[in-house]
Amino acid sequence: MTVADEAEKYGLHRVGARPTLVSYLKQTWQRREFIYELAKARVQSQNQRNRLGMLWIVIKPTFNALVYGFVFGILQGGKRGVDYPVYIVIGVFLFEFFSTSMNGGAKSITGNASLVQSLAFPRLALPTAQVLQSLLSLMPMLAVMFIYALILGTEPKWSWFAIVPILMLFTVFNLGVALLCARITVHVRDFSNILPMIGRVLFYTSGVLFSADRLLSHWPWLIAVFDVHPIYQTLQLARGFIMDHAVYDPWAWWVVAGWAFVMLLAGLVFFWKAEERYGRAN
C-alpha cells in the first residue's frame, strides 16, 4: 500500500489540495465577512494619503468625462445625439467600475503573495474582494452621476431604479472577468503590463463615447457586433433608463444576463482549476 493509499484510508488530505467546486464555493461563502471587511478597508485606505481623500473616487471619472466628452463631442459633430454630456457621464462612470474590477482582479493573487502563502483560505476570496471594493467605490460615483444628470437637465424618474438590476448583472460579469485575469496573471506575470492597453482598447471600442447606431450606420455588420457586446449593451441599458431621450432594445437584458452567466461560470471553473498553484505564487 502506497503512502497516498494509507492517507486516503484515514481520511488525510494533502495540504493545499483543491476541494470540489461545490465545497470551494461553500468555503468562500463562509468567509463572506472577511471578504467584505477586506474590501471596505481597502476602499478607506486607497486615498488616505491624498489631501482630498475619498473625493478622488469621483474626481477622476469626472475629469475623464470632461476631457473625453469635449474631444469626442467635437470629433463626432452632428452625430453626437441629444443629451451627449449625460451620455458620456454614464459611460465613463460605469466603465470605471469595469476597469478597476479587471485591473484589480488581475493583481489580486500576485499582489497578495504573503497572504496567499501564509494562510489557508479559498483564493477566490481575493478577486471577489477586489470586485466588491470596486462596487463600494462605485456607490458615491453613482450618486454624483445622478446629480450630474439632474444638473445637465435630465428629469428624475422611477426608471432610474433599474440601475440596481443592471449593476447586479454587471457585477457578476466583472467578477468573471476578474477571475480569468487573476489566473492568467499568475501564469504570465507580464499580462499585468498588457492589461492597461487592453483596458484602453475596450474603453474606445465599447461605446463609452459613441452610439454604434449613429457612428457606424454605414457598417451594418459592425452594428451587429455591438448588438452582442456585453459592455456596450450594459451602458445602453443604463442610458435607456436614465436619460430622457434615450431608448434601449429589450434584447439587451438577455445579452447582458447571458454574458454575466457565461463569464462567471467560465471564470469560476478556470480560476478553481489552478487553486493549488496560488499557494506557490511569488
Task: Per-residue pLDDT tens, the chain, 282 aa: give them.
Answer: 555 454 455 454 455 567 889 999 999 999 999 999 999 888 877 766 655 556 666 777 777 677 766 666 655 555 556 678 888 889 998 999 999 999 999 999 988 888 887 878 889 999 999 999 999 989 888 888 898 888 888 888 999 999 999 999 999 999 999 999 999 998 888 888 899 999 999 998 898 888 887 777 778 888 888 899 999 999 999 999 998 877 778 889 999 999 999 999 999 999 999 888 886 544
Provide the pLDDT for residue 232: 94
- Is 212 in contact with 232 (CB distance < 8 Å)? yes
Provide the pLDDT for residue 82: 65
Cell of 267: 471564470
Q: Residue 251: count other Cβ atoms within 10 Å of its Cβ.
A: 11
pTM of the model: 0.87
Provide the pLDDT for residue 265: 97
Measure the N-to-C terminal CA separation of the chain; round to a whole number of Å: 36
Distances (CA, A) of 234 to 14, 34, 48, 80, 177: 43, 30, 32, 19, 15
d(CA 131, CA 70): 30
Provide the pLDDT for residue 282: 46
Residues contacting 155, CB < 8 A, separation 6+: 244
- Give me the residue spans of the domains in the chain: 20-278
